[in-house]
Structure 1
Amino acid sequence: MRRRDFLKAGAVATGAGASAIAAPAIAQSMPEVRWRLTSSFPKSLDALFGNAEAFARYVAEATDNRFQIQCFGPGEIVPALQAMDAAANGTVDCAHTPIYFYIGKESALAFGTGVPFSFNSRLQYAWLVNGGGNALMDEALTRFNVVGFPCGQSGTQMGGWFRKEIKEPSDWQCLKFRIGGLGGQVLARLGVVPQQIGGGDIYPALERGTIDAAEFVSPYDDEKLGFARVAKYYYAPGFWEGGAMLHMVVNRERWDALPKHYQAVMRQAAEASMNAMLAKYDAFNGPALKRLIAGGTEVRIFPNNVLDAAWKAAHDLYSEMAAQNPLFKRALDSMIAFRTENYLWWQVNEYAFDSYMIRNRTKV
């Protein structure tokens, strides 16, 4: 039932006098709020930028349009990679962004989005909610004058677009590769020259040859961005983002000034929009991949020797970073313990079921 309908029903049930008394109280508890949100993602991407729009729409609907959030794309207020900074300094009220963009400020933030060889989408969320991950991210974000909570999930991302095949670990050598987060630091140990570039700037960089290869998200987004026109080979999986989580990052003073029920509305809207986003990817990635293949894209799977080299590089890097940053170490230890415990269950049940269904998907 919509809030307005609920209030009307209450007036009928309790009488006109009661409704006259309730109206001013309700107005006081539902103040008019107008916020600005900056996103790290181009407006053309209806799953990513659309996730921020869905979040804002849910907030408005739940507050009878008294709390409205206007969404802006990269470059309209600040560039894509400065979204959290804009929320922190009050240029905007909130930002929709993956917090691993800001690991140069605090390396532990990488775990909020996902690190190489961590979790799939469901386990990433399970760790944040039930494995202590959110508390660790809260601790990491506190020093930046922001509050953050999960708001978007892409599922396992693709490994990216390449002009040449990756058959051996040595094929990474001197490759200028657009990749964000700790994935870039891991692959740098294998010879990659990582480039962190906002989503809207990837295609021209790849087309001009400024970079040799690029990863972004998934077939649904990558098809829209046109990467198939400038690179032939499409690799899987994106082992650096097995379940990439996005966050809503809110200026702390603006957050503290909100009524508590508005804060609750924002958290619930973030969860609802996250579920809708993942459902969109699960529904539309398959058809998009088929279209890309029909257009000439060649799908490749990273060989095990390439994955094994990256696994070793990742965990060597984690050990070094943990020795330098106690918060990173606590997050790493928590992630590894959760991963070890819960992939056992996944192997017994979820993986066994999925494997059987995949083998038999064409039998009917």
Structure 2
Amino acid sequence: MKRREFLKKAGVGATAAVAAATVNAPFVHASKKTPIRWRMQTYAGPALAEHVIKPQIDAFNKAANGEMVIELYHADQLIPTGELFRAMQRGTIDAVQSDDDSIAAPVDVSIFAAYFPFASRYSLDVPTLFNHYGLNEIWEEAYAEVKGVTWLGAGAWDPCNFATVAPIRSLSDLKGKRVFTFPTGGKFLSRFGVVPVTLPWEDVEVALQTGELDGVAWSGITEDYTVGWADVTKYYLTNNISGAWCGSYFANSDKWDAVPEHLKTLFRLSMDSSNYYRLHWYWWGEAHYRVTGGKLELTTIPEDEWSIVEAEAEKYWDEVAANSPRSAKIVSILKNYVDTMKKAGKPYRY
């Protein structure tokens, strides 16, 4: 009897094992499917990408467990930065990390990306404005009007300061300086005699050495040291026209829609992780390299003179507000935000 009971139980166990194998079979087969593959291009060159996006993409690829693989390309590696938006619409590239301004996004909000003059003082201003002052909803609305590209979210980077071959100690020293910078930032700085120059990112260092460029107003001091520009410039101006670069993630809409929900969630989590890393990496670097960098001499334009630049930015905001009702709404939000920060006092504003 005991033998019969054993055989009976063994038979039930075997049946259950076969049933379990049958239930699990679809998962086994699914894991062998060809993974989703994206080609993604960042605004950053190789050295900078090691911090601003590569850790994120490496982590995503690992966590995706073979279901999806993102191939990362650097600035201008596949497509010139200024053509990235159109290329994304066509599906030539699947995803992009950049600011809206540099990739010529055909939306009215693009002018507020990158370095919109004096829109932020600290890196935390950017996520605060997007998550608590309504900019997320405004950006989503704007990109919903454009076919083929999905805006995935924004984050903060570093401030915009000058690194130059010759020192800048007054506004007059800006006149005639040929500077590599962002489109909107360059247009604003041209009011003070700066000559904005557009070059492929990888050519900037050589242009500084040959005299084609007098400086860069493309980053803070962390990037100057990280990418090698501190080796070919001599001075760093502590005044900045913006406290943080505003960058975003974008994807071809068809490619994004084809991604399963759990991988969409994973990608958004990886974006959050990258945004967090950049907050503390830049906060550390901007102080660290000023104090211990040793390559760039710090210069400063006196506050009473720099206030002229700030006053001009207020006029510029009003000019941009006239572009569209949505632009006017954003400018109103920025003014309200600045007013709130000033009323809050230290440490928000001094």
Q: TM-score, length-normalised on structure 1?
A: 0.81
Aligned twin of 1:73: 74
Decide whether the 8 Å contact of 1:51 with 1:152 is kept in 2: no
Deviates more, 1:143-152 or 1:244-253: 143-152
Structure with max Cα Rg: 2
One-letter amino acid of the counterpart of residue 149, structure 2: V
Which of 161, 176, 179 is the equivalent residue of 1:177? 179
Counterpart CA distance in 1 for 2:214 and 2:109 is 29
Decide whether the 8 Å contact of 1:155 with 1:244 is kept in 2: yes
Aligned twin of 2:157: 154
Counterpart CA distance in 1 for 2:129 and 2:32 is 34
Counterpart CA distance in 2 for 1:145 and 1:70 is 20
Decide whether the 8 Å contact of 1:36 with 1:71 is kept in 2: yes
Q: Does the C-alpha gap of structure 1 residues 23 and 219 become closer, same or farther in structure 2, counting only changes over 3 Å?
A: farther
Which of 208, 221, 230 is the equivalent residue of 1:219? 221
Aligned twin of 1:356: none
Aligned twin of 2:53: 52
Decide whether the 8 Å contact of 2:41 with 2:74 is kept in 1: yes
Counterpart CA distance in 2 for 1:108 and 1:269 is 25
* Partner deviation per Cα, 1:214-249 (whole Å, 9 max, x = no partner): 123233321243333433221123223x12132111
Which of 224, 233, 238 is the equivalent residue of 2:235? 233
Q: Does residue 85 of the first structure (1) align with residue 86 of the second (2)?
A: yes
Structure 2 portions without partners, runs of 5+: 1-15
Decide whether the 8 Å contact of 1:41 with 1:49 is kept in 2: no
Which of 35, 38, 43 is the equivalent residue of 2:41? 38
Q: Does residue 100 of the first structure (1) align with residue 101 of the second (2)?
A: yes
SS at match of 2:224: helix
* Partner deviation per Cα, 1:230-273 (whole Å, 9 max, x = no partner): 33221123223x12132111011111222222222211110111
Decide whether the 8 Å contact of 2:81 with 2:103 is kept in 1: no
Q: Does the C-alpha gap of structure 1 residues 284 and 311 become closer, same or farther in structure 2, counting only changes over 3 Å?
A: closer
SS at match of 1:101: coil
One-letter amino acid of the counterpart of residue 139, structure 1: E
SS at match of 2:39: strand
Deviation (angstroms), 1:22: 4.6
* Partner deviation per Cα, 1:25-74 (whole Å, 9 max, x = no partner): 586599721111111111122xx354322222232233223111010112
Decide whether the 8 Å contact of 1:59 with 1:265 is kept in 2: yes
Deviation (angstroms), 1:20: 4.5
Q: TM-score, length-normalised on structure 2?
A: 0.83
Deviates more, 1:54-63 or 1:22-31: 22-31
Decide whether the 8 Å contact of 1:43 with 1:73 is kept in 2: yes
* Partner deviation per Cα, 1:99-155 (whole Å, 9 max, x = no partner): 221457444213244411112211210111121111222233332521123465323
Q: Does the C-alpha gap of structure 1 residues 95 and 103 become closer, same or farther in structure 2, counting only changes over 3 Å?
A: closer
Aligned twin of 1:132: 134
Counterpart CA distance in 2 for 1:228 and 1:58 is 30
Decide whether the 8 Å contact of 2:164 with 2:236 is kept in 1: yes
Counterpart CA distance in 1 for 2:125 and 2:208 is 33
Q: Does the C-alpha gap of structure 1 residues 122 and 179 become closer, same or farther in structure 2, counting only changes over 3 Å?
A: same
Q: Does the C-alpha gap of structure 1 residues 22 and 341 become closer, same or farther in structure 2, counting only changes over 3 Å?
A: farther
One-letter amino acid of the counterpart of residue 134, structure 2: G
Aligned twin of 2:261: 260
One-letter amino acid of the counterpart of residue 43, structure 1: P
SS at match of 1:258: coil
One-letter amino acid of the counterpart of residue 47, structure 2: S
SS at match of 1:202: helix
Counterpart CA distance in 2 for 1:333 and 1:270 is 28
Counterpart CA distance in 1 for 2:265 and 2:32 is 13
Structure 1 portions without partners, runs of 5+: 1-14, 353-364
Deviation (angstroms), 1:324: 2.5
Aligned twin of 2:306: 307
One-letter amino acid of the counterpart of residue 211, structure 1: L
Q: Does the C-alpha gap of structure 1 residues 28 and 112 become closer, same or farther in structure 2, counting only changes over 3 Å?
A: farther
Counterpart CA distance in 2 for 1:134 and 1:146 is 16
Decide whether the 8 Å contact of 1:30 with 1:63 is kept in 2: no
Counterpart CA distance in 2 for 1:195 and 1:151 is 26
